[in-house]
Amino acid sequence: MKQIFDGNRPLAEASALPSSTYLSSEYYDKELKQVFGKEWHWACRTEQINQPGQWITTQIGNESIVVSRDSEGILRAFSNVCRHRAAKVCRVSQGQSTRLRCQYHGWTYDLAGHLKTAPEFQGVSHFNCEQHSLPSFQVEELGPWLFVCLASEAPNFLAQWKPFLEQSESFQIDQMKFVKRVEYPLNCNWKIFVDNYLDGGYHINTLHPDLAGLIPYSDYRSEIFEKSSLQTAPLKSNLQKESAKVRKGTAQYWWLYPNLMINLYEGVMDLNLVIPEGPNNCRVVFDFYFKDISDLNQPQIEQSLKIAHQIQMEDQGICEEVQEGLQSAFYTSGRFSVLREQTAYHFHQLLAREAGLFE
Ligand code: FES
Ligand SMILES: [Fe+2]
């Protein structure tokens, strides 16, 4: 066995995770099982399932999940894989019903995932519906969102969110209103998008012309917590750029291990979720929230979405280029900037601790 990463080195002596961890399907499978199978994951907005009987489907790694509010109003999460022959119980992204009926042979489940009927199963030995409930998972609510953990022993949810809750209070996220979701399929490993987010602003002046000068780097700060990190940037308000009109105040860029990012500005919040879809592919979901959604603020909202799309195009281009570069026989791993990239190293350390350091 060969050690592929040393997460015990100080940042000044460290190297990043090697390219094999961005390319190999073995490492990818380990991540799904040992990281995505164990950690808390963002599932949906609470308002999507406010009413009894409402449900949504989502994907965590390879697992299709249903999150519902049952007839008693209790939040539930369970596997979306039918206990009969493994078809999907719910085939669309959301709905409202009293029962969930598998389209294949018609088994029906209640909104808590309990099997209620299995047609034409008379005479089947040792079969009872109670033993064929859909496996259930833990659900937690935080602010406007719901989170699910697939592991029976889930990590401490509030411990992970404590720094965020303490430091983001002034942004009043409970007053932000969801406006729009935009999804981007990317031809790169999910970690490349996270690395790009966690480089402490290192790429902003070079890759994003519209943001150049907006963030004074002497005031850029990174803070590392156990399973999250925060990058803080006071934005220049006197800059004659479109970006400065819609990105105001001191920005907070939060990363929650492993794949959730929350960007906070004055009156604006966007949440980025990176969903792995194989070693060479991922999907990035952007949910945009604004405090003021009045007609008067529509031009600012439009402008803000336009800028976010432009930035995403630039980030996406470089992420896909990096995926190609990592396939080079002449590149294995790179070093970190001590001034900028401590948050990226922290991500690699957490990941290596769970997904393994050896191959
Ligand atoms: S697979 Fe669902 S009823 Fe057969
Ligand atoms: Fe970027």
Q: What DSSP line would sit under 143-171, residue for residue?
A: TTEEEEE-SSS---HHHHHHHHHHHSGGG
Q: Which fold has domain 11-37+158-355?
A: Naphthalene 1,2-dioxygenase Alpha Subunit; Chain A, domain 1 (3.90.380)
Quick: pLDDT tens for 250-261. 899 999 999 999
- Indicate if ligand 1 lies below 6 Å from the C-beta of 101: no
Taking alpha carbons only, the member of 217, 241, 234, 237 closest to residue 306 is: 241
Rounded to whole angstroms, the Cα distance separating 149 from 5 reads 27
> What is residue 356's predicted lDDT score, i.e. its pLDDT?
77
> What is residue 264's predicted lDDT score, i.e. its pLDDT?
96
Quick: pLDDT tens for 2-34. 778 899 999 999 999 999 999 999 999 999 999
Identical fold, 11-37+158-355 and 40-149? no
> What is residue 209's predicted lDDT score, i.e. its pLDDT?
85
Domain range 40-149, its CATH number among 3.40.50.150, 2.102.10.10, 3.30.365.10, 3.40.190.10: 2.102.10.10
Rounded to whole angstroms, the Cα distance separating 2 from 149 reads 31
Nearest CA to ligand 1 atom 4: 105
Which residues are paired to 252 by β-bridges?
232, 264
Q: How confident is the model at residue 240 (pLDDT cuts 50, 70, 90)?
A: low
Q: How far, in Å, is the centroid of ligand 1 from the Cα of 108? A: 9
| Domain ranges within the chain, ordered by starting residue | 11-37+158-355, 40-149
Count of CB atoms situated within 10 Å of the CB of 264: 26
> What is residue 331's predicted lDDT score, i.e. its pLDDT?
97
Which ligand ends up closest to the CA of 204?
2
> What is residue 359's predicted lDDT score, i.e. its pLDDT?
59
Which residues are paired to 146 by β-bridges?
44, 141
Taking alpha carbons only, the member of 59, 10, 17, 19 closest to residue 322 is: 19
Quick: pLDDT tens for 60-114. 999 999 999 999 999 999 999 999 999 999 999 999 999 999 999 999 999 999 9
Token pair 């630039």 is at which residue? 314
Which ligand ends up closest to the CA of 203?
2
- Indicate if ligand 1 lies below 6 Å from the C-beta of 177: no
Burial class (CB in 10 A: 0-12, 13-18, 19+), 213: middle
Contact 88, 82 (CB under 8 A): yes
For 295-300, what is the mean pLDDT? 96
Quick: pLDDT tens for 302-356. 999 999 999 999 999 999 999 999 999 999 999 999 999 999 999 999 999 988 7
- Is the predicted pLDDT of residue 249 greater than 70, yes or no? yes
- Is the predicted pLDDT of residue 247 greater than 90, yes or no? no
Quick: pLDDT tens for 102-129. 999 999 999 999 999 999 999 999 999 9
Atom of ligand 1 nearest to the CA of 105: 3
- pTM value is 0.94
Contact 236, 228 (CB under 8 A): no
Which tokens go with 170?
A: 């002034």
Rounded to whole angstroms, the Cα distance separating 203 from 211 reads 10
**Three-state SS at 55:** strand
Q: What DSSP line would sit under 335-354, residue for residue?
A: B--TTTTHHHHHHHHHHHHH
